[in-house]
């Protein structure tokens, strides 16, 4: 019926307008009003140029290449938990006999670059499903109702594509869902709330006995901002943490990204994995890519370990800069970095990976540390040692110049963050307290108390190595970059002669 009405309107409306114009009636206002009405109707239904339906079509075409869980490095626990949840969709008939309801939604949470999007793609491949992807920002517009319309279009598109491809299921992935799924403030007229309400309605309408079945996978690194109605069972049934990989996971990721690169056989990827503590999967991929770029700059046919070491520095701190320091500044920077390095070797022997004077990012010099093993629990002694290492640069400057420079600003920020961790963990003389109840004056007092005590201890430790500073200064300035093993050999040699 609608088809015939539309055809009649297409034939009648132009003839009527021509007839009115023939009679001398000004039809321009009529055309303007009709154009505006059509535009608002077009926007309200969410079928403009940037609708979710069109966006999803483009994305599904671009991401059609299959991706398996074996191609995702690390995250073994997260992958196991996700596969278990997906089995509810794959083994539908089997679990139906036990009365188990399939998952409606899976929420992936964790830091950026840990592989949440990759895991959603692998989930679609594992379940042999149609895959559609969208970002939370695509549903937000200044026009009320546009986001809700795009949500409807996205779910409708998923069902249509699954039927067209003769698939029994479809996976919808929404990245950065906190953009539309944030906590509501009680109002019902905000565009964000309209979009969230529509998403909740669509998730409630996902019936496990319908075909094709829809599984919604969403990702965020700010889970605490999501609305409780979105997090409850029956909507997002599983919350899977996708955290930063451990050493074993980092090694797996490095091997995956090294598969298509000509590595020197002597490259020790396990050592690179150790030195890249705290790196995400995306950063590790960048390390391998930047290592290849450094090899190309050197006209080398193979990627050597020094190329990967430089790549780690670049990913951590940025590219080398062209800033030229004066002789006095270079000496101060050298002593500052020697302070960090010597303090690190005294507190935690074997932890220094590299001492460098080359400007990189915002730093005029830096010391890269190599943790012996991944740590997730810290004692007071360990954290005190970290503060001593952070204060080593400023302590060295005071020893030789009688004062500090602005180069210690970042070190002090790091030290105060560790003090905050000590306080919030109940590891200070304040005991177990609520850190939120502390005033700025209280924080200033505890910072001054802890940092002054550890600064005095740091100076005392480094003063015993004064001659080592003097002897090592020329070597560091001349070499500019010293590896951890070479630095420890130099330190041992100078300590014997001092």
Q: Could you list the active site residues?
A: 337
Sheet of 130-135: strands edge to edge? Answer: 130-135, 169-175, 213-220, 105-109, 238-241
> Please, are residues 414 and 367 in contact by the beta-carbon 8 Å criterion?
no
Give dist(CA 37, CA 275) in Å, integer. Answer: 62
Encode burial over 18-53: b for 16+ CB neighbours within 10 A, e otherwise. Answer: eeeeeeeeeeeeeeeeeeeeeeeeebeebbbeebbb
Encode burial over 415-453: b for 16+ CB neighbours within 10 A, e otherwise. Answer: bbebbeebbeeebbeeeeeeeeebeeeeeeebbeebbee
Give dist(CA 242, CA 78) in Å, integer. Answer: 6
For strand 213-220 and strand 238-241, is the pairing parallel, antiparallel, or unpaired? unpaired
Give dist(CA 218, CA 175) in Å, integer. Answer: 6
* CB-based contacts of 263, cutoff 8 Å, min separation 6: 269, 302, 303
Helix axes 146-164 and 52-62, enclosed angle (nearest 10): 40
């Amino acid at each position: 019926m609608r088809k015939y009405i539309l055809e009649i309107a297409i034939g009648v409306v132009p003839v009527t307008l021509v007839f009115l114009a023939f009679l001398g009636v000004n039809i321009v206002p009529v055309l303007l009003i009709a154009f505006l009405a059509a535009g608002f109707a077009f926007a309200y239904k969410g079928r403009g140029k940037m609708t979710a339906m069109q966006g999803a079509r483009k994305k599904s075409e671009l991401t059609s290449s299959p991706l398996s869980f074996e191609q995702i490095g690390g995250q073994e626990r997260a992958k196991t938990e996700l596969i278990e949840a997906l089995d509810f969709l794959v083994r539908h008939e089997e679990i139906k006999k036990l009365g188990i309801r399939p998952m409606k939604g899976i929420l992936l949470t964790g830091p950026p670059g840990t592989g949440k999007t990759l895991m959603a793609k692998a989930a679609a491949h594992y379940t042999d499903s149609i895959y559609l992807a969208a970002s939370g920002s695509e549903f937000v517009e200044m026009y009320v109702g546009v986001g809700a319309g795009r949500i409807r279009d996205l779910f409708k598109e998923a069902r249509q594509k699954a039927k067209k491809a003769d698939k029994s299921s479809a996976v919808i992935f929404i990245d950065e869902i906190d953009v539309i799924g944030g906590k509501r403030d009680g109002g019902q007229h905000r565009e964000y709330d309209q979009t969230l309400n529509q998403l909740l309605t669509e998730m409630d309408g996902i019936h496990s006995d319908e075909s094709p079945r829809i599984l919604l996978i969403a990702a965020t690194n700010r889970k605490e901002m999501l609305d409780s109605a979105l997090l409850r069972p029956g909507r997002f049934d599983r919350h899977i943490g996708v955290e930063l990989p451990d050493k074993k996971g980092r090694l797996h990721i490095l091997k995956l990204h090294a598969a298509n690169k000509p590595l020197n056989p002597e490259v020790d990827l396990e050592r690179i994995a150790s030195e890249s503590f705290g790196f995400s999967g995306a950063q590790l991929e960048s390390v391998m890519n930047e290592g290849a770029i450094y090899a190309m700059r050197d006209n080398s046919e193979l990627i050597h370990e020094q190329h990967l070491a430089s790549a780690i520095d670049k990913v951590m701190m940025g590219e080398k800069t062209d800033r030229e320091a004066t002789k006095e500044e270079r000496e101060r920077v050298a002593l500052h970095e020697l302070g960090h390095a010597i303090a690190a070797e005294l507190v935690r022997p074997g932890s220094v990976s590299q001492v460098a004077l080359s400007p990189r990012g915002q730093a005029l010099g830096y010391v890269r540390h190599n943790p012996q093993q991944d740590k997730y629990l810290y004692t007071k002694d360990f954290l005190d040692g970290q503060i001593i290492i952070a204060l080593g640069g400023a302590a060295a400057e005071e020893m030789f110049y009688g004062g500090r420079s602005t180069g210690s600003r970042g070190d002090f920020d790091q030290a105060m963050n560790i003090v905050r961790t000590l306080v919030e963990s109940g590891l200070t003389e304040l005991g177990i307290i609520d850190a939120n109840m502390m005033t700025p004056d209280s924080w200033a007092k505890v910072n001054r108390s802890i940092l002054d005590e550890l600064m005095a201890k740091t100076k005392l430790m480094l003063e015993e190595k004064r001659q080592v500073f003097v002897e090592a200064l020329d070597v560091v300035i001349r070499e500019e970059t010293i590896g951890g093993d070479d630095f420890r050999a130099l330190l041992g040699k100078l300590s014997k002669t001092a």
